[in-house]
Amino acid sequence: MYNLIGAGLIVIGAGIGLGQIGGKAMEGIARQPEATGKIQTAMIIIAALLEGLAFGALFLGK
Amino acid sequence: MGKHFIRYLCATFKEPLFERFAMRKAMPSLRYLIIFLLSITCFQGFSNVPQEEEGPVSSKEEVDEYIQHHIKDAHDFHLFSYTNDAGERKHVGFPLPVILWSSNGMVAFMSSEFHYDDEGEVIVEKGGSSFVKYHTKIYELQSGTKNLSFDEEHHPTNATRVLDFSITQSVVGILLVGLLMLWVFSSLARQYTKRKVPKGFGRVLEPLVIYVRDEISRPNIGEKHYRKFTGYLLTVFFFIWILNLLGLTPFGFNVTGQIAVTAALAIFTLIIYTFSGNKEYWQHILWMPGVPYLIRPVLAIIELAGAFLIKPFSLMVRLFANISAGHIVVMSLIAIMFTLKASLGVVGATALSLILSFFITLIEVLVAFLQAYIFTMLSALFIGMAVADHHGDHVFGENDDVDDAEEARENFI
Whole-angstrom Cα distance, residue A46 to residue B184?
33
Across the interface, of A44, A52, A58, the residue whose CB is closest to B314 is: A52
Give the tens place of pLDDT for each residue, B10-41.
Answer: 444 444 444 444 545 555 555 565 555 555 44
Q: Measured between CB atoms, does B381 come within 8 Å of chain A?
A: yes
Whole-angstrom Cα distance, residue B132 to residue B144?
14
Q: How far is CA B329 from CA A52, B119, B165, B223, B249, in A?
A: 18, 25, 30, 41, 15
Say what angle helices B341-387 and B311-334 make with each other, to 10 degrees: 160
Strand locations in B264-384, DSSP E?
none
Residue A48 with chain B: CB contacts under 8 Å: 318, 374, 377-378
Judge: A52–B377 Cβ closer than 8 Å, yes or no: no
pTM over 0.80: no
The yes-or-no verdict on residue B391 having pLDDT over 70 is no
Minimal-distance CA residue of chain A relative to B314: A52
Which residue of A10, A38, A39, A41 to mutate against B (max B Cβ within 10 Å)?
Answer: A41
Whole-angstrom Cα distance, residue B277 to residue B283?
10
Which residue of B374, B376, B379 to mutate against A (max A Cβ within 10 Å)?
Answer: B374
User: What number is the ipTM of this complex?
Assistant: 0.75
Q: CB–CB of B158/B141 below 8 Å?
A: yes
Domain boundary assignment for chain A = 1-61
Judge: B317–A45 Cβ closer than 8 Å, yes or no: no
Give the tens place of pLDDT for each residue, B38-88.
Answer: 554 444 433 444 444 455 666 778 888 888 888 888 888 887 878 778 777
Residue B215 with chain A: CB contacts under 8 Å: 41
The yes-or-no verdict on residue B4 having pLDDT over 80 is no
Domain boundary assignment for chain B = 23-88+168-413, 97-166
Across the interface, of A41, A45, A56, the residue whose CB is closest to B317 is: A56
Residue B37, pLDDT score = 54
For residue A36, give the nearest of A44, A24, A28, A46 by alpha carbon: A28
Kindly give the parts of chain A with pLDDT less than 70: 59-62
Minimal-distance CA residue of chain B relative to A52: B318
In chain A, alpha helices (H): 2-31, 36-61
* Nearest chain B Cα distance for residue A14, angstroms: 14
Say what angle helices B169-191 and B202-211 make with each other, to 10 degrees: 100
* Nearest chain B Cα distance for residue A27, angstroms: 23
Starting at the edge strand found earlier in the chain, the sheet holding B105-110 runs B105-110, B97-102, B163-164
Four-point Cα dihedral A10, A12, A16, A19, nearest 10 = 110
A47 alpha carbon, distance to own chain's centre:
4
Whole-angstrom Cα distance, residue B42 to residue B14?
41
Q: Give residues 2 to 61 of A whose Cβ lies within 8 Å of B.
A: 41, 44-45, 48-49, 51-53, 55-56, 58-59
Q: How far is CA B315 from CA A49, B310, B311, B319, B357, in A?
A: 9, 8, 6, 7, 27
Average pLDDT estimate for B164-168: 88
Residue B102, pLDDT score = 82
Across the interface, of A45, A52, A56, the residue whose CB is closest to B377 is: A45
Name the β-bridge partners of B77. B94
Residue A53 with chain B: CB contacts under 8 Å: 314
Whole-angstrom Cα distance, residue B103 to residue B129?
8
* Nearest chain B Cα distance for residue A36, angstroms: 14
Q: Measured between CB atoms, does B314 come within 8 Å of chain A?
A: yes
Q: In chain B, how long is the greatest CA-to-CA distance?
A: 102
Mean pLDDT of all residues belonging to chain B: 80
**Which range has the top average pLDDT, B239-243, B318-322, B342-346?**
B239-243
* Nearest chain B Cα distance for residue A56, angstroms: 6
Which residue of A49, A51, A58, A62 to mutate against B (max B Cβ within 10 Å)?
Answer: A51
Q: How far is CA B90 from CA A41, B76, B392, B406, in A?
A: 50, 15, 71, 78
Beta carbon pairs, A and B, within 8 Å? 36
Give the tens place of pLDDT for each residue, B81-138.
Answer: 787 787 777 788 888 888 888 888 888 888 888 887 777 778 888 877 888 888 888 8
Q: Measured between CB atoms, does B228 come within 8 Å of chain A?
A: no
- Architecture of the domain defined by A1-61: Up-down Bundle (1.20)
Q: Measured between CB atoms, does B362 come within 8 Å of chain A?
A: no
